[in-house]
Every structure is written in structure tokens, then in C-alpha cells.
Structure 1
Amino acid sequence: MLETPANGSRPRASPRTAPPPKTRVTTGRPGGLGTFGGVFTPSLLTILGVIMYLRFGWVVGNVGLLGTLVIVTLSTLITFLTALSIAAIATDQRVRTGGAYYMISRSLGIETGGAVGIPLFLAQALSVALYTVGFAESVVGAFPGADARTVGVITTIAVALLALISARVAIRSQYIIMGAIALSLISLVLGSPLDPASAGAVNVGPGGGTGPLGPEAIEAARQPFWVVFAVFFPAVTGIMAGVNMSGDLAEPNKSIPRGTFAAIGVGYLIYMGLPLLLAARADEASLLLDPLVMRRISLWGDAILLGVWGATLSSAVGSILGAPRVLQALARDGVLPRRLRWLGKGSGADDTPRAGTIVTLVLALGAVWVGDLNLIAPVLTMFFLTTYGVLNVAAGV
């Protein structure tokens, strides 16, 4: 477009107005964690956790190979649909400390977010207990003289101390744990079927000794399909470990979708392959009653112990990093009573929620004292399914 000056001189082109810069939704922490360390690693290590090592054989023994594949696929489908909702929300709005709670509260309102955020915090706190109880169970299985409650309490306190030091220190420790899990899976793939002489027996000692199983014990261990589903489902809820680290990510809007989908894909492939090995190598009785049956069908049995301990500890670390951050966000939004607003404070450059970590530790220790994996897991399933449902509603609003 040409402008004609008042003095009649040569018309000149009017300056073109520059288009406004394209807005970009991002609130990352400068120098924060990336996709691999901040989302993929904690999510995958929580997915490959205590349920895989200590209850997957029990799942196969109860519902068979086909039933196990159905449970894995159904559980992963629920998680995948929720991940789609998380990706839609994460790329459409600012994502800060609080993970799933923050997404829900900014989509449906703080009141609705708070109604889900509190159960989500409790689920994450109970998850810590789930993993440390699993760790204690595996230790007692390998060393019968150990006391499960004592091991569980000491382990829970240890992972809480690690989380109090720094999220970065905790994340770095998970790389070592990932190596231990990879070694255990390789040992399992290269293993062999159970010796027919040991079929129908359960591991009763650190030296691999076995004892016979009676038909009454086998029948008592059987559970219906949906009970088995409820026990297994927490295995695929590891995506929350990465989502809850949103406040520590450099680019949460990119890292959350990429890391979450990658962890779901890798976890699904592993969970679809392991039942084939278990069904082909172990008898029904061993699957039902020996939590460490994987140790007996692996090339190097102790590698499974390393994997169990690494997976349970890493999952516990991931949960105890996530739960206090949800509580911190709830306090900062004023959802909690005024006398609990101090839970919103953070410490250091990483804004570590130390007060929230201590509260999480206390709740986890209470659940550890219960000491029953099969009781804790269904409660977690209820909490996570509720959270997933509201997340999917929030994505559709």
C-alpha cells in the first residue's frame, strides 16, 4: 500500500506491520531435566517395578497366558488413552509443579482439581509403600532370617532421604538401576525351563532350596480375573512418575508427551513378552506360589534379585519424588487448610518440597506396617483409575 506525502513528493511504501510473534506455551525450569532423565527414565522404571518381578508369575498362574495378555493390553490401553489426554493438556497450557493435579485444576478449576489431587497424592504416597514392601518381600525370600517390616521401614526412610537431598541426585541414581533391570531381563531371556524335579515346589531359601506345594495351597492362591486385574494395574501407572516431575523439566510441554509415550511403548513390549517365557518355562504351582519364580528360570538367578531390588527402589524413589510435589501444588493453590500452607514451601534451587516429603514418608511408613502387597495394590488401582478418568474428562473440556 502506498502513502502520498502532503508535500506532493514521491509516494513511499508504508511500513508493513510485523505479525505478532507466535505464542508458545512453555514454563520450563532453566537448566531443568530433559525428556530422557526427567520423564522416560522414572516412568519406565516405575512401570518395570515390583508387580513385574513379584506378581507377574502369579498373574499368569491365575488367568493363564491369554488372560494375562488381555489384562496387559486392557491396562495399557487405559494408560495410553490417559497419556493422550495428558499430551493434549500439556501442549495446550502451562505446566508447572503438580503434574496431573496441575493439569486438572487448570482445566476444570481448582475445586475439581483439589478433589482429585488429594487422592492422587495419597496414591503416590501408598505407591512408595507398595514398592518398599515388595523390596522387603524379595529380601525375605532370598534371606529368610530377615524381618519384612524392619527391611520395609529402613528402605522407606532411605529413599526419602535420597529424595530430600535432591531430585537430580535421585534421577542420576536411576541410570544405574536401569542397568541392573536390563541385566536381569537379559538373564531371564537367556534362561531355561524349570527342572522337572523342582516343578510344583517353591523357593524357600537363599541357596535356592525348594519345598513341596500341596493342592490346598494352590487352590487358596487362586483369584478371579478382576482381582488379578486390580493387583496388576498399578504396574502400568508409572506414567505419573514422569508427569509429576513437570516442575523440574526444562521443556515440560515437549518432554511429557514424548517421554510418556516412549515409556508406555517399551513397557508394553516387555509385558507382552514376559508371559510367553513364564508360561513356557514354569508350572502352574510355581507361578502361583513362588514370588521369585523368575529367579529359578533365569540364566543367572542373582541377576533377578538385582533387578527386583533395582526396580522396587527406583519405583519408590520416583513415587516419593512425585507425591510431595503434588502436595506442594495443593498447598500453593490454597486447597489445603490454612494451617497446612507451609507444605507449599520449597528448598534450594530445585524447589525441593522437603516438608511434603516428610509427610509422604509418614503415610508410607503406616502402609509399610500393613506389609501386604495384595492389599495395597487394589487400593492404588482405585485411586489411579479415578485420577485417569478425571484427566480424560479434563482433556475433553
Structure 2
Amino acid sequence: MAASDSGFTPAAGRFGTFAGVFTPNVLTILGIILFLRTGWVVGQAGLGGALIIILLANAISLLTGLSLSSIATSMNVKAGGNYFLISRSLGLEIGGAIGIPLYLSQAISVAFYIIGFVEAMSVIPFMAGLDPQILASGVVLMFVVIAYVGADFALKIQYGILAVLIAALVSFFAGGWGETIAPTMSDSYTEGVSFWIVFAVFFPAVTGIEVGISLSGDLKDPSKSIPLGTIVSILVTAVIYVAAAVWFATHLSPQELIGNTAAMSEISAVPILILAGVAASTLSSALGSVLAAPRTLQAVSKDRVVPRWMASQMGSATEPRAAVLLTGAVAVAVIWAGDLDVVAPIITMFFLNTYGMVNLVAAIEKAVGNPSFRPTFSVPVIVPALGGLGCYGAMFLINAPATVAAIVVTYGIYFALRRRALAGTWGDVRSGVWTSLARFALLKLERGGGAGDSRNWRPNLMVFTGQPHNRESLVALSTWLSLGRGIVSFSQLITGNVEDPNKPRLRETAQERIRTYIRDRGMNAFAEAQIVPDFASGAVAVSQAHGIGRLEANTVMMGWSGTPGGRGLLLRVLRDLADLHKSVLFLHVDEEQGFGEHSTIDVWWGGRGGNGDLMLILAHLIDLHRDWNGATIRVLRMVGREEAIAPVREETERRLEAVRVDAEVRVFLRNDRDFVDILREESRETDLTILGMQRPDASGAEAYGEGLQELVDAAGTTLLVHNGEPQEASLEVE
């Protein structure tokens, strides 16, 4: 299933930095926590603890803002905010795993701010007489209507709200002059309250930066507005929170601050302005969230992570109306389910998880160093690394079980999306991560050695299959041998001239068909297709060029030819590959026999050295595969004298035990019999016979090929083996 990279931009950007990012962020950050919970934070944690909490929360927010700015200035940001940034960097599955909880946290925030509004308004006699849940639900419905009408109308309201908020803050800091007390620096935690519980209650204050970035699809220049508006809003509001904490601590005792959520009014020069500020800030924060959440859901829906109907605009040219209605439903449900102090930690966990992932994206992008990652706002990798560490560290310290639950939910969504095989048409940083890891591993291998010794030897197979569906037996054998954890490549040689305009297109088509074959069968293999002047020179050239550094093809596998000329050609290729220290395997499969019952493998062994060790290694690897489960490996040897049978058997069994290969040993007396006859008698009914080959003389390739053909005819399904690196493809491990 494919998803478009269009994000969703139904209209040209409408808002600049001040209107679209800075003001919504500030109005959301300077919300319910400032007016109703900052005094409580100071009372519980003391001024010293409160300043640590405020600075730590803002440090996490600032580091995330810097990371977010780095990512945003390196791509064309569209609708969806943080979901867009994460999904376009780490892929749809991870983006969806974060985007769905992000939407829920934003939708829950609507309820959070409206619950705070109702709590604050309870001091008004008329409001106190109303059912708080019914009142909060009514406010949600009002905001749903505003968001349903459109963001233009909603953002016009914010300037009036900003003016009321400024007046409230001026009134707060204008009051209490000449009435200061010595601040209590130490904590006064009530029962069941701790530093991290207080931090969890405060942290939603700094999550307001989500509002600005969630409006990314409505900004005129997101790459400019998001960094500037986000960072300035964080710094300005951090100063206000620090000043407010100091002002609270120098005017009221911890007991007064803990027991009175309206403490700000007692200090204020004009208390009624605080009430107006509470109403303005909580409602503006709720309004910001009711604008942000539907746009996140719309972007997630447009990528088919959730049903497409959730992105419906229901007749509007600009507004995600279906998502607005769903957000209202979630907010009402939360209002009827819990109070302010219950909801705050839930939002904290959701947002910390999202912030942590934003930092992770920025750190990965910076560390991987893809040429496409060219942010105009660049930060050192330590910045997002510290931000991510701070987010996930704070999550565990706040509530370890809840953190584990959040991670489980995130991974649950991730694996569910993986099963749906979501795919985007854009590239993401994951391929860059694997490229960087592969580069690191290859350089370590090159500098440290290890690929060229018997302990680390494994068959890295170059299999000349042509189109694999035409040579299923070669594919099967390579699959069995791949349990040696080597690298398998299927290659098609296309004879001709590169200058022929049809050949490059033919090569691309052939390579893609091989990839499709591999992917459809869930195989671990690579696809290759090359244009070569002829098969013999092409096979040699491709075999020696394939790979990087020490990680190269050490074993070449082909089908055995059915014609004398073809066999002579293969053996001439073997000569060249042997000179290049490549091992060579030729497979002949009897048309009637196939691989039989996968129950017996015969290895005709001439002793250690030469081809013997590689033949046994290959038999052992094949036997490990489930297709050959319970198969018997038989090691067969011939002697010229009867008295040699027992000692040769004992010596062979001893060697097999020493190298930990489980095999049955059989020793035959030749008695002047022809080897072809012995082979036919002993191995004709065997499912796979493994025989060794020598490097033939150039002049004797055809004759040697006919001799091998006699053996193949006698044995049936046969694997012919030549060991090109006997010191490395060895049973002995130092």
C-alpha cells in the first residue's frame, strides 16, 4: 500500500511566524499551568526545586525545539507537524506509531485546558452552581464549532486573548510590592507527592510548541517560521515562568501556595484581571490544541495510517472537519473520565515520547550525514542526543511502568503498521542508517582482518542463475548454503555491448525481476545483472569485481552444462577463477531424481586438504537446513589394500569428531574396479553426491569435462566442487 508524500496542503500558506507559530505557542504555553499550578509547584518543591523543574522542562523543550528546527530547515515541511517530520525521516511505520499517540495527546490537551478553565471559573457564584462536566462539555462544543468554521477565524481571536494575557501578567507582577517574604528554598511535599510527580504536573506547560508546528501546512514559509517562532516562544515563556516562580515564593508561604490554586489573584494588583487571564489563557490553549490535533490526524489519515475518512474536509476548502469532530468527541470523553491532576501526567508521557522521537530523528540525521540532510539551522549531534536522553530519562523517573506501557503501545502500533506493509513514495533516513552501519562494518573488516581466516570463512556465493525462476535448483542450493550466514547474490549475464541503447534498459529490467523474485519469496539475497561481451570473460570479471574490500564473493556457483562445448567452457572459467582463489561449484540435478527425499548426502572424500574440507563444510551447511532435517552425511573413501580399511576408517572418524562434523564413514576396497562403477553402485540412489574437481590443463579442459560427465551420469544429482582457498575454507580452526 503506497502513501503519497504530498502531506496535505489544501491551500497556500496563510500565516507568518508571529501569527502562525509564536503567538499560538505563547498562548498555549502561558496557560493553565501558569495560573493554576505554578504556585502549587513552588509550594511543593520550594523555590529551588521549582526553578530546577522549570529549567529542566524548558531545557528539554529547547533542545527539542533546536532539533525540530534542524529537521524543519532540511526539508519542505507540509501538514502534520511532528508527525510529518518523523514519518518522512524514519518511515511511515515509526511515524504512525508516534503520530497516533501524538494526536491523542493533543486531543486530550483540549480537555485538560477546558477542565482547568472550569476549575478556575468555579470562584464565580453563577459558574459554581453549574455541573463542571456539563459546563466543560459545552465549552468543547463551542470550540469545535469555531474550529469547524476555520483556523482563520480562530487565529484572529488570539490577538485579543494575547492582550488580556499580557494585562493579567502585568497585574500579577504589579502586585505585592513592599510585601515580600523570604522565599522557602527547600521542598514541602505533601503525602504521595515527589519531585517527579510535580515535574509531571508542570511539564504540559512547555508542550505548547506542538501547536505552532502542527499548523505547518498553513504557514507561508514553514522552514523559516517554525525554527524562529518555536525557539523565541520557548525563551520568552521560560523567562516568564522563572519570574512567576520567584514572585510566588517571595509573597506566599508553601502552605498557602499548595492549598490555594487562586494564589495568583491574592498577589495581583487587579485580581479580576487574573480571572480574565485564566479564562483567556486556558481557552486559548484549548483553542490552539483543537486546531492542532485535527491537522495531525488529517496528515496521519492522508498517509493511510488510519482510515481515510478521518481526513475528510466535509465541504470545506481548508479545514479537516471530520478530524475536528473526532477531536471534540475525544475531549468530551476525557472530561467525563478524569480531573486535571489525573490528565496532566498522561499528556506528559505522550508528549515526552514524541519529543524524544524528534530528538532521535535529529540525532540520527546528523550522525548518518546523508548528503540530502542540509539544514540551514544546524546543531551539533550532542544537542538532540541530550534532548532525547532527557525525554526518556524523565519518562522513567516520572513513572517507569507508564513509560514501559507507552513504549509497548508505540511498538504495538508500529508492528501493526508493519503488518499492513505501508509504504511511502519518499526516501527516509533508515537507508542512510544502514548505509552508515555497513560502511562502518566494512572499514572495520578491512582494517582488522578476519574475513580471510578459517574461523570466519563462510561461503559468499555469486550464483549465475540468469532469471532465478529458470534455475530453481541453483536457488534451492544457495538457500541451503546461506545458513552459513554468507552473502548470496543472483546474477544474470547479458551478452552484448553497453552502447546498444536496449541493453541498459534490459539490464535494469532483469535486475528488477530478480529483486521481485527474491522479495516475493522472502529470501536473503541480492540481485545483479551485468552487460558483458561473452559469458566466459563476463563470469570471471563479475566474480572478481563483486564485493567491497574483504567482503567479496569467494564462491561461484553455476549449473553444469549438458553439452561437451558448454562443459569445456565452464572448466576454462574454472581455471581463471581458481587463479583468482575463488571456489567453484557446478550443480547437476537429475531430472527424474531431483534432490530425492533430502535424506542422504554422500561426500567422496580424498582426505584433508585440496577439496575435501570444503566438500564437508558444504555438506554440513546443507544438513543444517530444515529441508534436510534428519539427513545422513556419508563420508566415502577408497583404499587399495584391505588392511588399510580399518585404520583409514578410524583416522577419518577421529578427524570428523575433532572438527565436530556428524557423519557416517564408509571405506571401500577398490579391487581394480573403475571408480565410475563404484560411484554408481554406492551413490546412485543418494539424494545429493558431492565430488571434487581439479584445475584442468588448458589443453585438456574438454577431455576432463567428459570424464566429469561420466561421474555425474553415474551419481545422479551431483555437486562438483573445487576449493580455491584451501587455507581458508578449512575444517581446522586455530
Distance 1:221 1:320, change over 3 A: farther
Pick from 316, 324, 327: which aligns with 2:286?
A: 316
Structure with the larger RCO, 1 or 2 (CA within 8 Å, 6+ apart): 1
Pick from 322, 327, 346: which aligns with 1:379?
A: 346
In the aligned structure 1, how far is the partner of 2:167 from the partner of 2:27?
14
Matched, 1:363 2:336: no
Pick from 75, 90, 101: which aligns with 1:108?
A: 90
Pairing 1:184-263 to 2, within 5 Å after superposition:
184-192=168-176, 223-263=193-233
In the aligned structure 2, how far is the partner of 1:359 from the partner of 1:137?
24
Matched, 1:300 2:270: yes
Pick from 293, 318, 329: which aligns with 1:351?
A: 318
Q: CA-to-partner distance for each residue in 1:17-51, whole Å, 9 max, x for gaps? A: xxxxxxxxxx8953510100000011010000101
Pairing 1:144-223 to 2, within 5 Å after superposition:
144-192=128-176, 223=193
Distance 1:97 1:348, change over 3 A: farther
In the aligned structure 2, how far is the partner of 1:326 from the partner of 1:250?
18
Taking structure 2 as the reference length, the TM-score comes to: 0.46
Q: CA-to-partner distance for each residue in 1:320-377, whole Å, 9 max, x for gaps? A: 10101111011110111xxx21112235675210000000000100111134110000
What's 2:47 paired with?
65
In the aligned structure 2, how far is the partner of 1:31 from the partner of 1:389?
28
**Amino acid in the other structure paired with 2:93:** E
Cα RMSD for the two superposed structures: 1.9
2:13–2:220 contact (8 Å) kept in structure 1: yes
In the aligned structure 2, how far is the partner of 1:354 from the partner of 1:311?
24
In the aligned structure 1, how far is the partner of 2:308 from the partner of 2:223?
28
Pairing 1:108-147 to 2, within 5 Å after superposition:
108-143=90-125, 144-147=128-131
- Which runs of no fewer than 5 residues in structure 1 stay unpaired? 1-26, 197-217
Q: CA-to-partner distance for each residue in 1:367-388, whole Å, 9 max, x for gaps? A: 1113411000000010001001
In the aligned structure 2, how far is the partner of 1:124 from the partner of 1:350?
23
What's 2:253 paired with?
283
**Amino acid in the other structure paired with 1:384:** F
In the aligned structure 2, how far is the partner of 1:251 from the partner of 1:53?
33
Q: Shift of the alpha carbon at 1:221?
A: 6.6
**Amino acid in the other structure paired with 1:322:** A
**Amino acid in the other structure paired with 1:64:** G
1:193–1:281 contact (8 Å) kept in structure 2: no
**Amino acid in the other structure paired with 1:320:** V
Deviates more, 1:183-192 or 1:362-371: 362-371
Q: Shift of the alpha carbon at 1:142?
A: 3.0
Pick from 81, 85, 88: which aligns with 2:67?
A: 85
In the aligned structure 1, how far is the partner of 2:237 from the partner of 2:192?
26
Larger Rg computed on CA atoms: 2
Q: CA-to-partner distance for each residue in 1:54-79, whole Å, 9 max, x for gaps? A: 11111000000011110000000101
Give the length in aligned residue pairs.
347
Distance 1:303 1:85, change over 3 A: same
In the aligned structure 2, how far is the partner of 1:177 from the partner of 1:347?
29
1:133–1:371 contact (8 Å) kept in structure 2: no
Q: Shift of the alpha carbon at 1:222?
A: 6.5
1:29–1:250 contact (8 Å) kept in structure 2: no
Q: Secondary structure at the match of 1:281?
A: coil
What's 1:271 paired with?
241
1:101–1:114 contact (8 Å) kept in structure 2: yes
In the aligned structure 1, how far is the partner of 2:201 from the partner of 2:290?
21
In the aligned structure 1, how far is the partner of 2:36 from the partner of 2:153?
27
Q: CA-to-partner distance for each residue in 1:280-334, whole Å, 9 max, x for gaps? A: 1112222001111101111010100000000000000100101011110111101
2:12–2:218 contact (8 Å) kept in structure 1: no
1:193–1:282 contact (8 Å) kept in structure 2: no
- Which runs of no fewer than 5 residues in structure 2 stay unpaired? 1-8, 181-187, 366-734
Identity of aligned residues (%): 45
**Amino acid in the other structure paired with 1:187:** S
In the aligned structure 2, how far is the partner of 1:394 from the partner of 1:347?
34
1:139–1:146 contact (8 Å) kept in structure 2: no
Distance 1:185 1:221, change over 3 A: farther
What's 1:390 paired with?
357
**Amino acid in the other structure paired with 1:115:** A
What's 1:22 paired with?
none
In the aligned structure 2, how far is the partner of 1:349 from the partner of 1:137?
34
1:104–1:390 contact (8 Å) kept in structure 2: yes
2:45–2:189 contact (8 Å) kept in structure 1: no
What's 1:38 paired with?
20
1:194–1:282 contact (8 Å) kept in structure 2: no
In the aligned structure 1, how far is the partner of 2:28 from the partner of 2:317?
22
In the aligned structure 2, how far is the partner of 1:257 from the partner of 1:242?
10
In the aligned structure 1, how far is the partner of 2:190 from the partner of 2:46?
17
2:118–2:135 contact (8 Å) kept in structure 1: yes
2:44–2:190 contact (8 Å) kept in structure 1: no
In the aligned structure 2, how far is the partner of 1:384 from the partner of 1:194?
40
Query: Which structure shows the higher helix fraction?
Result: 1
Q: Secondary structure at the match of 2:12?
A: coil
**Amino acid in the other structure paired with 2:164:** A
Q: Secondary structure at the match of 2:347?
A: helix
Q: Secondary structure at the match of 1:107?
A: helix
In the aligned structure 2, how far is the partner of 1:83 from the partner of 1:261?
6
In the aligned structure 2, how far is the partner of 1:84 from the partner of 1:28?
28
Distance 1:28 1:69, change over 3 A: farther
